[in-house]
Every structure is written in structure tokens, then in C-alpha cells.
Structure 1
Amino acid sequence: MQFKPALLLAAAALIASSAQATPVAIAQWNYNTSSTKQTFSMNGASFSTLGGVTTAFVSGSGSTDSGSPNNALNTTGYGTISTGNMTRGVQFMIDTSGYQDVSFTFDQRNSGTGSAWTALLYTLDDGDSWTKASQFQISSTSFLNNRSFSFADIEGADNNPLFGVQLVAMFAPGTSGYVGATSGYGSSGTIRYDMVTLSGTEIPEAVIPEPGSLGLLMAGLGGIGFVARRRRAS
């Protein structure tokens, strides 16, 4: 029985895909150095504010951050109760080149008068256009940790140097204004973020089995071929 190269390559790909890829952080902001620069980034990342929002560094107590000092990023300067829907907040541009199945996680804490609703937007074209991926509601003044969204099913999020996300205050669904997290909304309300992380799995390169593995593979395929011939003969 002869083995065609295409069959061997397919089998090699099957061996490669059988290994479970482990997600890694592509970029992360923990704010513990009192800086808005990312703590680390595999490919390159940047941070900016939107719509006149201002930032300060405050305690991150209650978040998942185990660093010391545990700082978080506090944001304020949001719009009046009926202005600026999904235009004020924070933006993270993250190069996902070489990674797939990316997911975004963060810890968030609102003041009582901060917007109860936050929208997660994403871009695939370096900010030329933005799409809403999800929305989150907060009705507490404690940190709500590990908020997350998976971009695994969004075509174009993988392996993209022009990828980015925004977290922006949004009107309460079905209304024309903001509502506060636990009391009446106020433009001086605050939203703080910590452990902002984009993770993903490395895109595997083509894997050619070692000679020993290839021998076992060929023996297995030979056994399958022998069984198939016996069945045809019978």
C-alpha cells in the first residue's frame, strides 16, 4: 500500500491539532505603576480616553489584581443624562497578529451615580468603524470581576494588527438617557477598571511529526488499509 503525501500531511495536521492550545495574555493593563501604558503586550498595544473622559489612579481593592500596590484606573467626565450615548469611555488598541480565539476580560467598579450600563465595542479596521459586541449592567458599587466577552466567533478578530475595543457608557436600553448604578445618574459619576486583558491562543505552525511518530502513523494507516482490503476481498 502506498501513502500519498496529501494523506500524510492530513494525518500530521491531525496530530498537531490534537494538542490543546493554552490561552495566553496578548496584552494587559493592571495600572499598578500608575500608568495607562499596558503592563505588557506581545505585539503592541495602546490606550486612550474618549469624549473628554479623564483618568486618575485609585485603589483597586476588591479586584482580581494580586499586585502591589493594587491600583485601578478611575474614569470620570461622562456626559449629561441624555448626551453622548456610547461616545465616552476608554479605548484599547491591541495587535492580535499570531493569535486566534481572542477574548476580552476586565474588572469594573462603578460609583452609585456612574452609568449603570456599559457597552463593549470593537473595531477590525483600526477605528474606522466600530461595532457593539455586548453590553453590561452594574447595579452595585463593588468590583464586579472577570467580565468577559469571547471574539472567537467574530471573523476578523483573529490575527489582526488593526483590532481594538472600547468600553463606553451607554443609555439604559430602550431609553434616551443614562441611569445610575445604585442612585440617580450624575455626569461626575465614576467608573474604574482593573486587570484589563485580551487573551488568545497562538496560531499553530505546520507540524511535521518526528520520524518515530511518522513510523507509528504509517503503521497505523497500513493496518487500516489491510483491514479495508480484507473487507473488500470478503
Structure 2
Amino acid sequence: MCALVYLSVLTNVFSQVEITKWEFEGGTPSPAVGSGTLTNLGGISNIFSTGIAPNTVSAEGTTGTTRGTFGYNTSNYPSASNGAKTAGVQFSVSTIDYKDIQIAADIRHSNTSANKVVLQYTTNGTDWIDATTYGTPAGGDNWYLRTYDFRLITSVNNNANFAVRYVTDFDGATYLAAKSTSNYATTGTIRFDNVVLKGVANTAALTTPKSNTWFVSNSTLTLSELPTSTIEVYTLTGSKAAAYKPAKIIDLNLFKGIYILKIDGKPAKITIR
């Protein structure tokens, strides 16, 4: 480890890092990484049911034999001919200091759930735009990896009002079931797990975190205020190098190199020589 650490604003294009992640472990709707808000829409209800392990799901669908502990399981959707694109879940995440936004989520449809889910987004918190529609090619009782790339939609960058929502939609004039031989039912379930929003630190907006006064010396991070969330360190390739519980003094114990340090969701660059 080295004796000198230099702090500066990012001046290069770096790989994506996790802005916010929901894993639902422990049966909580709060993010495991970063900050954000999860909201039920259209009168649906939820319980916490068996989830799916990260990176085990394909877009084509899988039964998901490798499972995590919990997923966010929703039901009580509208009747077959009512409320297209009104019911589902919303994830609100500020993208301040980030650009090149992408999202991924593992979503499971039961046999009698709707076979179509629309991903919508907003840049002002009021008006919603359809981004894409997902189907259920493998039928129900399958997990699907749902991804979307917002990198060409610059209005979502550096935006405090950014949010996405996954809502069920008609297939024709009514909802149809995820399994072609089943009938749609309001009790059909749609389960969410491993919802991850990623982005690249925005070089134009990036600043030292405003909520904490901090410095690094001899590989020790010192803060004047206790952070509200986990402190994270990423490599320039986007891999997480370390994570630390909130504290005012932290031994980073990093090798020489350049890293992205996130304190209360605000990224900055540290160079350890």
C-alpha cells in the first residue's frame, strides 16, 4: 500500500457501476446498494417469496433451479379487460452524476399472470414513455432476464426525477395468460428480483460528495459526518473492489491504482500511488 492518495474529478470514460440494486434479501423492499424507492401501482399487493440467484436467468426464460432467498412477489392485478398499463411496480432512482444508464431485472411470471409487461420511464416524474414490451416465450412459471439500454436517451442522464415501471398490458383487447393453455387470473403472480440500475460517472457533473467532508491519507478514509449507506469502491472496469460499513474512519486497504469511490451515492476518483 502506498503513502499518498490524490483525489480528483473523473476525466476519463469509465465502465458502468451500480447506482442502485434491489435484491430483497431479508424480505425488505429497500435497496441493497444505493438509494431509491419501490412503489406498487394499480392496487396490486405483494409478499416476499423465493427469489433467484443473480446471473442465472436468460431472456428466453428459465425455471431457475438456482434460487436466492427472497423475491418481490406481486398479485391482485386488474380483471381481464380492465386497466391496461396501470398495474405493476415502479422503481424511482436519481441519476444525478451519472450517464449511460442501463437497467436489468429478473422477472418471473406464473402461468395465469399477464403474458406482456411494458417497461416505461419518466424524466419528470409525471409523463411516462413506453420503452419496450416483454413477452413470455417460454410460458409461465419461468424467470426472464429483462434488460434495457437507455444510453441513447440522454434526458435520463443526471436526472433526479428518473424512474421506471414494469406494468402489465393487454394482448389484443384483454390480458392473456403467460401460459397459452391457461386462463388469465387476477391472482396470477409476477415476481421481481435482482433489479439493478447501472451508469457511468458523469464527467460533466461529477463532484466531491456534498453531504460529507472527507479526505484520504495513507490509505485511510476520514469523514466528518457518518455516511447513510455503504461506502463502495469500484475499479475502472466497473468491478466492485471493496465495500465498507458506514464509519468515520476506514482503512481502505487498496492496491496501487485508480478507483471510483462512492459515498452516499456520490462518485469521485481516488488515485493510490
Q: Aligning the two structures, in what range does the TM-score lie when normalised by the shorter sequence?
A: 0.7 to 0.9
Q: Which residue of 2 aligns with 1:198?
A: 197
1:155 Cα shift? 2.8
Name the stretch that deviates more: 111-120 or 53-62: 53-62
Query: Partners in 1 of 2:40 and 2:11 — Cα distance?
Result: 42
Contact 2:74-2:191 at 8 Å conserved across structures: yes
1:130 and 2:121 aligned: no
- Aligned ranges 1:42-53 → 2 under 5 Å: 44-53=35-44
Pick one of 24, 30, 33 that aligns with 2:26: 33
Q: Which residue of 1 aligns with 2:210?
A: none
Contact 2:51-2:67 at 8 Å conserved across structures: no
Matched to 2:27, the amino acid is S
Contact 1:53-1:78 at 8 Å conserved across structures: yes
- Aligned ranges 1:78-97 → 2 under 5 Å: 78-97=77-96
Query: Partners in 2 of 1:21 and 1:166 — Cα distance?
Result: 27
Query: Partners in 1 of 2:49 and 2:98 — Cα distance?
Result: 32
Matched to 2:168, the amino acid is A
Give the superposed CA RMSD: 2.5
More helix by share: 1
Q: Which residue of 1 aligns with 2:246?
A: none
Percent sequence identity is: 28
Query: Partners in 1 of 2:142 and 2:13 — Cα distance?
Result: 32
1:69 Cα shift? 5.4
What's the secondary structure of 1:87's corresponding residue? coil
Contact 2:107-2:191 at 8 Å conserved across structures: yes
- Aligned ranges 1:1-234 → 2 under 5 Å: 19-41=12-34, 44-61=35-52, 64=55, 70-126=69-125, 128-139=126-137, 140-172=139-171, 175-182=172-179, 183-204=182-203
1:40 Cα shift? 1.9
Normalising by the residue count of structure 2, what TM-score does the alignment of the two structures yield? 0.63
Answer with 1 or 2: which has the greater Rg: 1
Contact 1:111-1:181 at 8 Å conserved across structures: yes
Normalising by the residue count of structure 1, what TM-score does the alignment of the two structures yield? 0.73
Contact 1:107-1:143 at 8 Å conserved across structures: no
Contact 1:27-1:40 at 8 Å conserved across structures: yes
Please, which runs of 5 or more residues in structure 1 have no aligned partner?
1-15, 207-234
Deviations 1:146-175 (A, max 9, x none): 310011111310000000000000011xx1
> Do the aligned partners of residues 63 and 189 (structure 1) sit closer, same or farther apart at CA in structure 2, a change above 3 Å counting?
farther
Please, which runs of 5 or more residues in structure 2 have no aligned partner?
1-8, 57-65, 206-273
Deviations 1:95-134 (A, max 9, x none): 00000010110001111000000000101012x1111111
- How many residue pairs end up in the alignment? 186
Deviations 1:187-229 (A, max 9, x none): 11000010011111111259xxxxxxxxxxxxxxxxxxxxxxx
1:181 Cα shift? 0.5
Contact 1:86-1:168 at 8 Å conserved across structures: yes
